[in-house]
Structure 1
Amino acid sequence: MKAAGRALVSAALPQDCLLCGARAGAGLLCSACAAELPRLPQMRCPVCALPTSDATVCGRCLSKPPHFDATHALFAYAFPVDRLIQVLKYRARLAVAPFFGEGLADLLPAGADRLVPLPLHPRRLKERGFNQALEIARALARHPSIDTASVEREIDTAPQASLAWDERGRNVHGAFLCRADLSGQHVVVLDDVMTTGATLDECARALKKRGAARVTNLVVARTLPA
């Protein structure tokens, strides 16, 4: 049975909460753990999703505008969301992906032309066996255009998590290649975690070079300042 099929079967059967072990019915989490998931503050920058005092564009995005135009995030990157993302990526618990995807469906911008799961480099994809962004995107059933062909990760960069924040932009520079004509299109890029935004910014740069009129980030979790 394929991995995606196993995830669907697992999600349909009564199971224990992935976090605390209590009975969770057919869901991934029990109601108590689901209620503890870390939400983002309501007042945040519409471009990068970091907290602001009045929900206007933050000073950083005003002084150095990124190539993307908006960011929609489901959770703050904190416990237990960080643990759920880690078990998806590093322990191949693919049943976590639909849980995230169903939540992101409510944040998907209306009228977007295509949904691009942030691609992995082929070596990383072979090593992991799946792209977590694509697995999450599969749950966005109401979007008919999941695009896995237009953008490639051309450079096998060092993992961003291993680098200092000020090194991350240089690390991913030129990492993405887009061959499609995106003239006038609104492209949504889906990823699991946004930390500095450097990877998503570089992907957006490649999309804008090919004519994309608007790029929106759709992420499971946003890292907030300490």
Structure 2
Amino acid sequence: MTQAVNLTTGPPVDERGPRCWLRRLFAARCLVCGERGDDGRALCAACAAALPWAGPACARCAVPLPAGDALCGACLRRPPPLDAAHAAFVYGFPVDRLLPRLKFHRDLAAGALLSASMARALASRPRPDALVPVPLHPARLRTRGYDQALELTRPLARALGLPLRTDLLRRRRATAPQSRLDAPARRRNVRGAFAATARGPLPAHVALVDDVMTTGATLHAAALALRRLGVARVDAWVCARVP
């Protein structure tokens, strides 16, 4: 008599066999703690559960707010040049471990994980005509060897089926690292740092993409350049917002 096979669970698997041993050896590891990844992902269950997904926030600058508040006091007093700002995460553990790995250590696996998370978080937002990564200055790009904003934007554009426009914005002036400056100095540092040009049709609505939004100075300077070019609506999509 032919032995019946359970189609739900499949035939028995020899956990001592070479294939199972290789699967265990090369199983995905958590990029944060090094434990085995959950369901083949690059995060373990504990680190995935700890992800600080963004909640209610100001519609113009993405700073966290109590539920029901549409705009923060700063944006009410002085509306920014961004029409909207959306963040996938609040900057905190474990995103504060993953973003520096992408930004300073060329960890493209961390970038892929964060970009996929951005696609999940931002898919329901108003769709722009194009995504525009905030560019590095050519000198910084030569030193670093890659552009972290572009590494986030490229897979994000593919995942959401949106055009990627790297021709619209360039950084025409090298600036000091923003992380070393206070808010007024950040604004002065990036004032006039960007120039916008269009080699093709000008989109009416774009979303600037960057890794972290702290004071918003860099995104505001980039948005002003795009508005001078004639872009009607400029949003910001960022991986994380510093509260």
TM range (shorter): 0.7 to 0.9
- CA separation in 2, counterparts of 1:139 and 1:175? 26
Q: Which has the larger radius of gyration?
A: 2
Partner of 1:206: 225
Residue range with higher mean Cα deviation, 127-136 or 179-188: 179-188
Over the matched positions of the two proteins, sequence identity in percent amounts to: 45
Indicate whether 1:75 and 2:89 are aligned.
yes
CA RMSD after TM alignment: 1.6
Query: SS at 1:75's partner residue?
Result: strand
The one of 188, 192, 202 equivalent to 2:207 is 188
Partner of 2:155: 139
TM-score (norm 1): 0.88
Partner of 1:127: 143
Report how far residue 26 of structure 1 moved. 2.9
Q: Which has the higher contact order (CA 8 A, sep 6+)?
A: 1
TM-score (norm 2): 0.82
Deviations along 1:168-197, whole A, 9 cap, x unmatched?
A: 000000000001287661111000000000
- CA separation in 1, counterparts of 2:84 and 2:201? 18
Indicate whether 1:179 and 2:197 are aligned.
yes
Query: SS at 1:138's partner residue?
Result: helix
Output the amino acid matched with 1:98.
Answer: A
- CA separation in 2, counterparts of 1:80 and 1:52? 21
Ranges of 4+ aligned residues in structure 1 off by more than 3 Å: 108-111, 181-184
Q: 1:16-31 to 2 correspondence within 5 Å?
A: 16-24=29-37, 26-31=40-45
Tell me the matched-pair count: 211
Indicate whether 1:215 and 2:229 are aligned.
no
Structure 2: give runs of 5+ residues left out of the alignment.
1-25
Deviations along 1:123-144, whole A, 9 cap, x unmatched?
A: 1111111111111112121334
